[in-house]
Structure 1
Amino acid sequence: MIRFDNVTKRFGSNTVLDSLDFTVYPRKHVTLIGPSGSGKTTILRLLMTLLKPDEGTITVDGELLCHERRDGKLVPAGEKHIREVRKNIGMVFQQFNLFPNMKVLRNITEAPVHVLGLSRDEADERARELLDLVGLGDRCDAYPSQLSGGQQQRVAIARALAMRPKVLLLDEVTSALDPELVVGVLDLLRDIAHTTDITMLCVTHEMNFARDVSDCVMMFDEGKVIEFGHPEKMFNDPEKQRTREFLSAVL
Protein backbone atom coordinates (compact mmCIF):
# COMPACT_ATOMS: atom_id res chain seq x y z
CA MET A 1 0.00 0.00 0.00
CA ILE A 2 2.93 2.35 0.75
CA ARG A 3 6.41 1.98 -0.67
CA PHE A 4 9.45 4.24 -0.23
CA ASP A 5 12.27 3.50 -2.69
CA ASN A 6 15.62 5.15 -1.94
CA VAL A 7 13.91 8.31 -0.62
CA THR A 8 16.16 11.13 0.52
CA LYS A 9 14.96 14.42 1.99
CA ARG A 10 17.25 17.28 2.91
CA PHE A 11 16.71 20.65 4.52
CA GLY A 12 19.77 22.62 3.51
CA SER A 13 22.81 20.63 4.61
CA ASN A 14 20.72 18.50 7.00
CA THR A 15 19.76 15.10 5.60
CA VAL A 16 16.52 14.15 7.39
CA LEU A 17 15.82 10.94 5.45
CA ASP A 18 18.78 9.08 4.03
CA SER A 19 18.10 6.69 1.10
CA LEU A 20 15.05 5.33 2.93
CA ASP A 21 13.46 2.05 1.81
CA PHE A 22 10.39 0.55 3.47
CA THR A 23 7.06 -1.03 2.62
CA VAL A 24 3.67 -1.03 4.36
CA TYR A 25 1.33 -3.78 3.16
CA PRO A 26 -2.46 -3.37 2.75
CA ARG A 27 -4.56 -3.50 5.92
CA LYS A 28 -1.46 -3.50 8.15
CA HIS A 29 -0.82 -1.10 11.01
CA VAL A 30 2.75 0.18 11.21
CA THR A 31 4.07 2.43 13.97
CA LEU A 32 7.14 4.61 13.66
CA ILE A 33 9.09 5.19 16.86
CA GLY A 34 12.35 6.94 17.60
CA PRO A 35 13.80 10.15 19.01
CA SER A 36 12.57 13.59 17.96
CA GLY A 37 14.27 14.74 14.79
CA SER A 38 14.79 11.22 13.45
CA GLY A 39 12.59 11.81 10.38
CA LYS A 40 9.30 10.19 11.39
CA THR A 41 6.97 13.15 10.77
CA THR A 42 8.83 13.99 7.55
CA ILE A 43 7.65 10.64 6.20
CA LEU A 44 4.01 11.59 6.85
CA ARG A 45 4.50 15.05 5.35
CA LEU A 46 5.95 13.47 2.21
CA LEU A 47 2.94 11.17 1.93
CA MET A 48 0.62 14.17 2.24
CA THR A 49 2.74 15.95 -0.42
CA LEU A 50 3.36 18.80 1.99
CA LEU A 51 6.99 18.06 1.11
CA LYS A 52 8.57 16.53 -1.98
CA PRO A 53 11.48 14.05 -1.90
CA ASP A 54 14.86 15.21 -3.15
CA GLU A 55 15.65 11.72 -4.42
CA GLY A 56 13.77 8.44 -4.79
CA THR A 57 10.12 7.59 -5.33
CA ILE A 58 7.01 7.04 -3.18
CA THR A 59 4.21 4.73 -4.27
CA VAL A 60 0.70 4.59 -2.77
CA ASP A 61 -1.68 1.77 -3.74
CA GLY A 62 0.44 1.00 -6.79
CA GLU A 63 0.58 4.59 -8.06
CA LEU A 64 3.60 6.89 -7.96
CA LEU A 65 2.82 9.84 -5.70
CA CYS A 66 5.19 12.65 -6.68
CA HIS A 67 6.23 11.30 -10.09
CA GLU A 68 4.58 9.98 -13.21
CA ARG A 69 5.81 8.29 -16.37
CA ARG A 70 5.72 10.21 -19.64
CA ASP A 71 7.17 8.74 -22.82
CA GLY A 72 8.86 6.05 -20.74
CA LYS A 73 10.58 8.59 -18.49
CA LEU A 74 10.04 9.37 -14.80
CA VAL A 75 9.14 13.05 -14.38
CA PRO A 76 7.71 15.20 -11.55
CA ALA A 77 3.96 14.64 -11.30
CA GLY A 78 1.44 17.32 -12.14
CA GLU A 79 -1.04 18.58 -9.55
CA LYS A 80 -3.94 16.62 -11.07
CA HIS A 81 -2.03 13.34 -10.72
CA ILE A 82 -0.97 14.15 -7.15
CA ARG A 83 -4.53 15.07 -6.10
CA GLU A 84 -5.87 11.81 -7.54
CA VAL A 85 -3.36 9.64 -5.65
CA ARG A 86 -3.70 11.68 -2.47
CA LYS A 87 -7.46 10.94 -2.34
CA ASN A 88 -6.49 7.55 -0.93
CA ILE A 89 -4.71 9.13 2.05
CA GLY A 90 -6.21 10.63 5.20
CA MET A 91 -4.21 12.32 7.94
CA VAL A 92 -4.90 13.28 11.54
CA PHE A 93 -2.56 16.02 12.76
CA GLN A 94 -1.26 16.92 16.20
CA GLN A 95 -3.13 20.25 16.29
CA PHE A 96 -6.55 19.15 14.94
CA ASN A 97 -6.54 21.79 12.13
CA LEU A 98 -10.32 22.19 12.15
CA PHE A 99 -11.91 25.16 10.41
CA PRO A 100 -12.88 27.46 13.32
CA ASN A 101 -15.61 29.27 11.35
CA MET A 102 -17.43 26.05 10.43
CA LYS A 103 -19.64 23.90 12.59
CA VAL A 104 -18.59 20.32 13.28
CA LEU A 105 -20.79 18.79 10.59
CA ARG A 106 -19.49 21.06 7.85
CA ASN A 107 -15.87 20.50 8.94
CA ILE A 108 -16.43 16.85 8.05
CA THR A 109 -18.46 17.32 4.85
CA GLU A 110 -16.37 19.96 3.05
CA ALA A 111 -13.78 17.61 1.55
CA PRO A 112 -16.19 14.81 0.52
CA VAL A 113 -18.36 17.38 -1.29
CA HIS A 114 -15.59 19.35 -3.00
CA VAL A 115 -12.96 16.63 -3.54
CA LEU A 116 -15.00 13.43 -3.93
CA GLY A 117 -18.02 15.09 -5.51
CA LEU A 118 -20.58 13.72 -3.02
CA SER A 119 -23.94 15.40 -2.77
CA ARG A 120 -24.48 17.49 0.35
CA ASP A 121 -27.11 15.03 1.60
CA GLU A 122 -24.83 12.01 1.12
CA ALA A 123 -21.92 13.81 2.79
CA ASP A 124 -24.14 14.85 5.71
CA GLU A 125 -25.35 11.28 6.19
CA ARG A 126 -21.80 9.93 6.19
CA ALA A 127 -20.65 12.66 8.60
CA ARG A 128 -23.47 11.92 11.06
CA GLU A 129 -22.60 8.21 11.03
CA LEU A 130 -18.96 9.01 11.74
CA LEU A 131 -19.83 11.43 14.53
CA ASP A 132 -21.88 8.66 16.12
CA LEU A 133 -18.85 6.38 15.73
CA VAL A 134 -16.57 8.82 17.57
CA GLY A 135 -19.16 9.53 20.26
CA LEU A 136 -20.11 13.05 19.16
CA GLY A 137 -23.42 12.50 17.42
CA ASP A 138 -25.00 15.29 19.47
CA ARG A 139 -22.38 17.95 18.58
CA CYS A 140 -23.09 18.43 14.87
CA ASP A 141 -23.99 22.09 15.33
CA ALA A 142 -21.15 23.01 17.68
CA TYR A 143 -18.18 25.10 16.63
CA PRO A 144 -14.68 23.74 17.34
CA SER A 145 -14.16 26.40 20.03
CA GLN A 146 -17.08 24.89 21.94
CA LEU A 147 -15.37 21.47 22.14
CA SER A 148 -12.64 20.12 24.38
CA GLY A 149 -9.31 19.16 22.85
CA GLY A 150 -10.23 15.49 22.96
CA GLN A 151 -13.54 16.19 21.22
CA GLN A 152 -11.80 18.27 18.54
CA GLN A 153 -9.38 15.43 17.86
CA ARG A 154 -12.32 13.02 17.54
CA VAL A 155 -13.86 15.35 14.96
CA ALA A 156 -10.51 15.43 13.13
CA ILE A 157 -10.48 11.62 13.06
CA ALA A 158 -14.06 11.57 11.72
CA ARG A 159 -13.07 14.13 9.07
CA ALA A 160 -10.19 11.94 7.90
CA LEU A 161 -12.42 8.84 7.76
CA ALA A 162 -15.09 10.73 5.79
CA MET A 163 -12.85 10.56 2.73
CA ARG A 164 -12.87 6.74 2.98
CA PRO A 165 -9.10 6.63 2.69
CA LYS A 166 -7.19 3.44 2.07
CA VAL A 167 -4.35 4.83 4.21
CA LEU A 168 -4.72 6.71 7.51
CA LEU A 169 -1.71 8.69 8.76
CA LEU A 170 -1.57 9.57 12.46
CA ASP A 171 0.97 12.15 13.61
CA GLU A 172 1.34 12.22 17.40
CA VAL A 173 -2.42 12.64 17.64
CA THR A 174 -2.47 12.81 21.45
CA SER A 175 0.51 15.12 22.00
CA ALA A 176 -1.61 18.28 22.23
CA LEU A 177 -4.18 16.74 24.61
CA ASP A 178 -4.42 16.94 28.37
CA PRO A 179 -3.48 13.58 29.92
CA GLU A 180 -7.04 12.74 30.97
CA LEU A 181 -8.23 13.06 27.34
CA VAL A 182 -5.57 10.81 25.83
CA VAL A 183 -7.13 7.48 26.78
CA GLY A 184 -10.42 8.14 25.01
CA VAL A 185 -8.79 9.12 21.74
CA LEU A 186 -6.43 6.13 21.82
CA ASP A 187 -9.34 3.78 22.58
CA LEU A 188 -11.17 5.16 19.54
CA LEU A 189 -8.14 4.58 17.31
CA ARG A 190 -7.79 1.04 18.66
CA ASP A 191 -11.41 0.38 17.67
CA ILE A 192 -10.79 1.74 14.16
CA ALA A 193 -7.64 -0.37 13.82
CA HIS A 194 -9.42 -3.54 14.92
CA THR A 195 -12.71 -3.07 13.03
CA THR A 196 -11.71 -1.60 9.62
CA ASP A 197 -9.47 -2.56 6.69
CA ILE A 198 -7.67 0.79 6.69
CA THR A 199 -3.90 0.69 6.41
CA MET A 200 -2.45 2.78 9.25
CA LEU A 201 0.91 4.50 9.54
CA CYS A 202 1.33 6.05 12.96
CA VAL A 203 3.96 8.25 14.59
CA THR A 204 3.59 8.12 18.36
CA HIS A 205 5.35 8.19 21.70
CA GLU A 206 2.49 6.20 23.24
CA MET A 207 4.28 2.87 23.43
CA ASN A 208 1.36 0.91 24.89
CA PHE A 209 -0.78 2.07 21.98
CA ALA A 210 1.96 1.03 19.54
CA ARG A 211 2.13 -2.38 21.19
CA ASP A 212 -1.66 -2.85 21.03
CA VAL A 213 -2.43 -1.82 17.44
CA SER A 214 0.73 -2.50 15.44
CA ASP A 215 1.50 -5.36 13.11
CA CYS A 216 4.99 -3.92 12.78
CA VAL A 217 7.05 -1.35 14.70
CA MET A 218 9.88 0.53 12.97
CA MET A 219 12.66 2.17 14.96
CA PHE A 220 14.05 5.31 13.31
CA ASP A 221 17.32 7.05 14.05
CA GLU A 222 19.10 9.69 11.99
CA GLY A 223 16.86 9.27 8.96
CA LYS A 224 17.09 5.50 8.68
CA VAL A 225 15.14 2.45 9.82
CA ILE A 226 17.62 0.75 12.14
CA GLU A 227 15.31 -2.06 13.27
CA PHE A 228 11.78 -3.31 12.68
CA GLY A 229 9.63 -6.23 13.74
CA HIS A 230 6.54 -7.45 15.55
CA PRO A 231 5.77 -5.30 18.62
CA GLU A 232 6.37 -8.15 21.06
CA LYS A 233 9.85 -8.63 19.65
CA MET A 234 10.61 -4.93 19.43
CA PHE A 235 9.47 -4.05 22.94
CA ASN A 236 10.64 -7.18 24.76
CA ASP A 237 13.81 -8.21 22.93
CA PRO A 238 15.13 -5.57 20.50
CA GLU A 239 18.35 -6.42 18.70
CA LYS A 240 19.93 -2.97 18.42
CA GLN A 241 21.53 -1.18 21.35
CA ARG A 242 20.11 2.15 20.10
CA THR A 243 16.57 0.69 20.22
CA ARG A 244 17.15 -0.60 23.74
CA GLU A 245 18.41 2.83 24.83
CA PHE A 246 15.41 4.61 23.34
CA LEU A 247 12.84 2.23 24.82
CA SER A 248 14.45 2.35 28.25
CA ALA A 249 14.01 6.13 28.18
CA VAL A 250 10.34 6.14 27.14
CA LEU A 251 8.85 3.02 28.77
Structure 2
Amino acid sequence: MIEFDGVGKRFGEHTVLADLNFTVAPGEHVTLIGPSGSGKTTILRLLMCLESIDAGTIRVGGSYLSHMERGGKLVPADEKHSREVRKRIGMVFQQFNLFPNMTVRGNLIEGPTRALGLSKDEATARATELLELVGLGDKIDEHPSRLSGGQQQRVAIARALAMRPDVLLLDEVTSALDPELVAGVLALLRDIGETTDITILCVTHEMGFARDFSDRVMMFDGGRVVEQAPPQELFTAPREARTREFLSAVLGRG
Protein backbone atom coordinates (compact mmCIF):
# COMPACT_ATOMS: atom_id res chain seq x y z
CA MET A 1 0.00 0.00 0.00
CA ILE A 2 2.96 2.32 0.70
CA GLU A 3 6.29 2.08 -1.09
CA PHE A 4 9.34 4.30 -0.62
CA ASP A 5 11.98 3.59 -3.25
CA GLY A 6 15.33 5.35 -2.86
CA VAL A 7 13.70 8.39 -1.26
CA GLY A 8 15.94 11.30 -0.30
CA LYS A 9 15.02 14.53 1.47
CA ARG A 10 17.22 17.49 2.37
CA PHE A 11 16.59 20.72 4.22
CA GLY A 12 19.34 23.00 2.99
CA GLU A 13 22.64 21.24 3.65
CA HIS A 14 21.05 18.81 6.10
CA THR A 15 20.11 15.39 4.73
CA VAL A 16 17.05 14.09 6.61
CA LEU A 17 16.41 10.95 4.55
CA ALA A 18 18.97 9.25 2.33
CA ASP A 19 18.09 6.40 -0.06
CA LEU A 20 15.17 5.28 2.10
CA ASN A 21 13.48 2.05 1.04
CA PHE A 22 10.54 0.43 2.79
CA THR A 23 7.05 -0.90 2.12
CA VAL A 24 3.86 -1.22 4.13
CA ALA A 25 1.41 -3.95 3.12
CA PRO A 26 -2.36 -3.36 2.80
CA GLY A 27 -3.96 -3.49 6.24
CA GLU A 28 -0.61 -3.57 8.04
CA HIS A 29 0.00 -1.45 11.14
CA VAL A 30 3.57 -0.14 11.18
CA THR A 31 5.01 2.11 13.88
CA LEU A 32 8.10 4.27 13.48
CA ILE A 33 10.17 4.84 16.62
CA GLY A 34 13.47 6.58 17.19
CA PRO A 35 14.95 9.81 18.56
CA SER A 36 13.62 13.23 17.64
CA GLY A 37 15.05 14.47 14.38
CA SER A 38 15.55 10.98 12.92
CA GLY A 39 13.18 11.63 9.99
CA LYS A 40 10.02 9.90 11.18
CA THR A 41 7.61 12.85 10.87
CA THR A 42 9.22 13.87 7.58
CA ILE A 43 8.05 10.53 6.15
CA LEU A 44 4.45 11.36 7.06
CA ARG A 45 4.76 14.88 5.68
CA LEU A 46 6.06 13.51 2.37
CA LEU A 47 3.06 11.19 2.16
CA MET A 48 0.73 14.14 2.76
CA CYS A 49 2.61 16.19 0.12
CA LEU A 50 3.42 18.77 2.79
CA GLU A 51 7.04 18.37 1.72
CA SER A 52 8.51 17.38 -1.65
CA ILE A 53 11.11 14.66 -2.13
CA ASP A 54 14.57 15.32 -3.58
CA ALA A 55 15.25 11.80 -4.85
CA GLY A 56 13.48 8.49 -5.43
CA THR A 57 9.76 7.77 -5.70
CA ILE A 58 6.79 7.19 -3.42
CA ARG A 59 3.80 5.06 -4.35
CA VAL A 60 0.47 4.67 -2.56
CA GLY A 61 -1.82 1.84 -3.53
CA GLY A 62 0.28 1.21 -6.62
CA SER A 63 -0.01 4.80 -7.87
CA TYR A 64 2.92 7.19 -7.90
CA LEU A 65 2.40 10.02 -5.41
CA SER A 66 5.52 12.05 -6.07
CA HIS A 67 5.63 11.43 -9.83
CA MET A 68 3.35 10.79 -12.79
CA GLU A 69 3.82 9.12 -16.12
CA ARG A 70 3.96 11.33 -19.19
CA GLY A 71 5.15 10.23 -22.61
CA GLY A 72 6.40 6.94 -21.20
CA LYS A 73 8.58 8.72 -18.65
CA LEU A 74 8.27 9.53 -14.96
CA VAL A 75 8.06 13.25 -14.29
CA PRO A 76 7.34 15.16 -11.08
CA ALA A 77 3.64 14.99 -10.26
CA ASP A 78 1.48 18.04 -10.74
CA GLU A 79 -0.92 19.21 -8.03
CA LYS A 80 -3.97 17.55 -9.61
CA HIS A 81 -2.30 14.13 -9.77
CA SER A 82 -0.94 14.35 -6.21
CA ARG A 83 -4.32 15.49 -4.90
CA GLU A 84 -6.07 12.47 -6.44
CA VAL A 85 -3.63 10.00 -4.90
CA ARG A 86 -3.62 11.87 -1.60
CA LYS A 87 -7.40 11.33 -1.28
CA ARG A 88 -6.52 7.80 -0.22
CA ILE A 89 -4.60 9.11 2.81
CA GLY A 90 -5.85 10.54 6.10
CA MET A 91 -3.66 12.09 8.77
CA VAL A 92 -4.10 12.90 12.45
CA PHE A 93 -1.67 15.56 13.66
CA GLN A 94 -0.15 16.28 17.07
CA GLN A 95 -1.99 19.59 17.47
CA PHE A 96 -5.48 18.50 16.26
CA ASN A 97 -5.57 21.20 13.52
CA LEU A 98 -9.35 21.57 13.73
CA PHE A 99 -11.01 24.56 12.10
CA PRO A 100 -11.89 26.78 15.10
CA ASN A 101 -14.56 28.75 13.22
CA MET A 102 -16.52 25.57 12.39
CA THR A 103 -18.57 23.28 14.56
CA VAL A 104 -17.59 19.66 14.96
CA ARG A 105 -20.09 18.87 12.21
CA GLY A 106 -18.46 21.43 9.92
CA ASN A 107 -15.01 19.99 10.56
CA LEU A 108 -16.17 16.51 9.62
CA ILE A 109 -18.17 17.34 6.49
CA GLU A 110 -15.79 19.89 4.92
CA GLY A 111 -13.45 17.33 3.36
CA PRO A 112 -16.04 14.79 2.16
CA THR A 113 -18.20 17.46 0.50
CA ARG A 114 -15.36 19.39 -1.12
CA ALA A 115 -12.90 16.64 -2.02
CA LEU A 116 -15.13 13.58 -2.40
CA GLY A 117 -18.25 15.26 -3.76
CA LEU A 118 -20.62 13.93 -1.11
CA SER A 119 -23.86 15.76 -0.53
CA LYS A 120 -24.21 17.61 2.76
CA ASP A 121 -26.74 15.02 3.95
CA GLU A 122 -24.44 12.11 3.08
CA ALA A 123 -21.47 13.76 4.77
CA THR A 124 -23.52 14.57 7.87
CA ALA A 125 -24.73 10.97 8.12
CA ARG A 126 -21.12 9.80 7.93
CA ALA A 127 -20.06 12.39 10.51
CA THR A 128 -22.80 11.32 12.92
CA GLU A 129 -21.77 7.67 12.61
CA LEU A 130 -18.11 8.45 13.22
CA LEU A 131 -18.79 10.71 16.20
CA GLU A 132 -20.73 7.85 17.79
CA LEU A 133 -17.73 5.61 17.12
CA VAL A 134 -15.38 7.98 18.96
CA GLY A 135 -17.84 8.58 21.79
CA LEU A 136 -18.79 12.17 20.91
CA GLY A 137 -22.20 11.81 19.33
CA ASP A 138 -23.57 14.58 21.56
CA LYS A 139 -20.88 17.10 20.52
CA ILE A 140 -21.74 17.48 16.84
CA ASP A 141 -22.85 21.11 17.16
CA GLU A 142 -20.11 22.22 19.56
CA HIS A 143 -17.12 24.32 18.52
CA PRO A 144 -13.64 22.89 19.17
CA SER A 145 -12.88 25.56 21.77
CA ARG A 146 -15.56 24.06 24.01
CA LEU A 147 -13.98 20.60 23.93
CA SER A 148 -11.16 19.15 26.00
CA GLY A 149 -7.88 18.22 24.35
CA GLY A 150 -8.81 14.55 24.36
CA GLN A 151 -12.18 15.31 22.79
CA GLN A 152 -10.55 17.49 20.13
CA GLN A 153 -8.16 14.68 19.23
CA ARG A 154 -11.10 12.26 18.94
CA VAL A 155 -12.77 14.71 16.57
CA ALA A 156 -9.54 14.92 14.56
CA ILE A 157 -9.47 11.11 14.30
CA ALA A 158 -13.11 11.07 13.20
CA ARG A 159 -12.37 13.79 10.63
CA ALA A 160 -9.55 11.72 9.14
CA LEU A 161 -11.80 8.65 8.98
CA ALA A 162 -14.59 10.67 7.33
CA MET A 163 -12.53 10.67 4.14
CA ARG A 164 -12.67 6.83 4.10
CA PRO A 165 -8.91 6.61 3.65
CA ASP A 166 -7.04 3.48 2.65
CA VAL A 167 -4.07 4.76 4.66
CA LEU A 168 -4.15 6.52 8.03
CA LEU A 169 -1.10 8.43 9.27
CA LEU A 170 -0.74 9.13 12.99
CA ASP A 171 1.84 11.72 14.06
CA GLU A 172 2.45 11.67 17.82
CA VAL A 173 -1.29 11.91 18.35
CA THR A 174 -1.05 11.90 22.15
CA SER A 175 1.90 14.27 22.61
CA ALA A 176 -0.28 17.36 23.12
CA LEU A 177 -2.63 15.66 25.59
CA ASP A 178 -2.64 15.67 29.36
CA PRO A 179 -1.44 12.27 30.66
CA GLU A 180 -4.87 11.22 31.92
CA LEU A 181 -6.34 11.63 28.43
CA VAL A 182 -3.75 9.54 26.61
CA ALA A 183 -5.15 6.11 27.50
CA GLY A 184 -8.59 6.89 26.06
CA VAL A 185 -7.24 8.06 22.71
CA LEU A 186 -4.90 5.08 22.43
CA ALA A 187 -7.76 2.70 23.25
CA LEU A 188 -9.83 4.30 20.47
CA LEU A 189 -7.00 3.83 17.98
CA ARG A 190 -6.63 0.19 19.02
CA ASP A 191 -10.35 -0.31 18.37
CA ILE A 192 -10.05 1.30 14.93
CA GLY A 193 -7.07 -0.90 14.14
CA GLU A 194 -8.94 -4.04 15.15
CA THR A 195 -12.23 -3.25 13.42
CA THR A 196 -11.09 -1.81 10.06
CA ASP A 197 -8.73 -2.88 7.28
CA ILE A 198 -7.08 0.56 7.06
CA THR A 199 -3.32 0.57 6.57
CA ILE A 200 -1.82 2.56 9.46
CA LEU A 201 1.59 4.21 9.66
CA CYS A 202 2.23 5.67 13.10
CA VAL A 203 4.94 7.81 14.69
CA THR A 204 4.89 7.64 18.48
CA HIS A 205 6.97 7.83 21.64
CA GLU A 206 4.38 5.66 23.43
CA MET A 207 6.29 2.39 23.47
CA GLY A 208 3.46 0.46 25.12
CA PHE A 209 1.12 1.48 22.33
CA ALA A 210 3.71 0.61 19.69
CA ARG A 211 4.10 -2.84 21.25
CA ASP A 212 0.36 -3.54 21.46
CA PHE A 213 -0.81 -1.91 18.24
CA SER A 214 1.81 -2.75 15.64
CA ASP A 215 2.35 -5.63 13.28
CA ARG A 216 5.86 -4.27 12.72
CA VAL A 217 8.04 -1.66 14.40
CA MET A 218 10.74 0.23 12.50
CA MET A 219 13.58 1.83 14.45
CA PHE A 220 14.85 5.01 12.78
CA ASP A 221 18.01 6.98 13.40
CA GLY A 222 19.75 9.49 11.17
CA GLY A 223 17.18 9.14 8.41
CA ARG A 224 17.62 5.41 7.97
CA VAL A 225 16.03 2.22 9.19
CA VAL A 226 18.29 0.77 11.88
CA GLU A 227 16.19 -2.37 12.21
CA GLN A 228 12.63 -3.58 11.90
CA ALA A 229 10.82 -6.53 13.42
CA PRO A 230 7.52 -7.61 14.99
CA PRO A 231 7.10 -5.69 18.26
CA GLN A 232 7.59 -8.68 20.53
CA GLU A 233 10.93 -9.36 18.89
CA LEU A 234 12.15 -5.77 18.66
CA PHE A 235 11.25 -4.82 22.21
CA THR A 236 12.52 -7.99 23.89
CA ALA A 237 15.54 -8.91 21.76
CA PRO A 238 16.68 -6.01 19.55
CA ARG A 239 19.59 -6.95 17.31
CA GLU A 240 21.22 -3.55 16.93
CA ALA A 241 23.13 -1.68 19.61
CA ARG A 242 21.50 1.62 18.61
CA THR A 243 18.04 0.13 19.15
CA ARG A 244 19.04 -1.24 22.54
CA GLU A 245 20.47 2.16 23.51
CA PHE A 246 17.29 3.98 22.46
CA LEU A 247 14.94 1.55 24.22
CA SER A 248 17.06 1.68 27.35
CA ALA A 249 16.72 5.48 27.38
CA VAL A 250 12.96 5.65 26.74
CA LEU A 251 11.98 2.65 28.85
CA GLY A 252 14.43 3.35 31.66
CA ARG A 253 15.93 -0.09 31.72
CA GLY A 254 19.56 -1.02 31.94
Q: What residue is the counterpart of 1:97 in the other structure?
A: 97
After superposition, give the CA deviation of every residue in 1:178-212 in whole Å (9 maximum; x if it has no partner).
00000000000000011100000000000010011
Runs of 4+ in 1 over 2 A off after TM superposition: none
Secondary structure of the structure 1 residue equivalent to 2:137:
coil
Provide the C-alpha distance between the structure 2 equivalents of 1:85 and 1:202, rounded to a whole number of angstroms. Answer: 19
Provide the C-alpha distance between the structure 1 equivalents of 2:128 and 2:225, rounded to a whole number of angstroms. Answer: 40
Provide the C-alpha distance between the structure 2 equivalents of 1:194 and 1:238, rounded to a whole number of angstroms. Answer: 26
Residue 120 (1) aligns with residue 138 (2)? no
Q: What residue is the counterpart of 2:31 in the other structure?
A: 31
Offset at residue 73 of structure 1 (A):
1.0
Q: Which amino acid aligns with 1:93?
A: F
Provide the C-alpha distance between the structure 2 equivalents of 1:70 and 1:138, rounded to a whole number of angstroms. Answer: 49
Equivalent pairs, count: 251
- Comparing 72-81 with 127-136, greater Cα deviation is found at 72-81
1:148-227 equivalences in 2 (<5 Å):
148-227=148-227
Provide the C-alpha distance between the structure 1 equivalents of 2:149 and 2:198, rounded to a whole number of angstroms. Answer: 25
Q: What residue is the counterpart of 1:245 in the other structure?
A: 245
RMSD: 0.4
Provide the C-alpha distance between the structure 1 equivalents of 2:80 and 2:11, rounded to a whole number of angstroms. Answer: 26
Q: Which amino acid aligns with 1:173?
A: V
1:18-57 equivalences in 2 (<5 Å):
18-57=18-57
Extract unaligned runs of 5+ from structure 1. none
Q: Which amino acid aligns with 1:66?
A: S
Identity %: 73
Extract unaligned runs of 5+ from structure 2. none
After superposition, give the CA deviation of every residue in 1:82-124 in whole Å (9 maximum; x if it has no partner).
1100000000000000000000011000000000000000000
Offset at residue 79 of structure 1 (A):
1.0
After superposition, give the CA deviation of every residue in 1:119-158 in whole Å (9 maximum; x if it has no partner).
0000000000000000000001100000000000000000
Secondary structure of the structure 2 residue equivalent to 1:138:
helix
Secondary structure of the structure 1 residue equivalent to 2:175:
coil
Q: Which amino acid aligns with 1:206?
A: E
Offset at residue 66 of structure 1 (A):
1.3
Secondary structure of the structure 1 residue equivalent to 2:138:
coil
Provide the C-alpha distance between the structure 2 equivalents of 1:194 and 1:245, rounded to a whole number of angstroms. Answer: 31
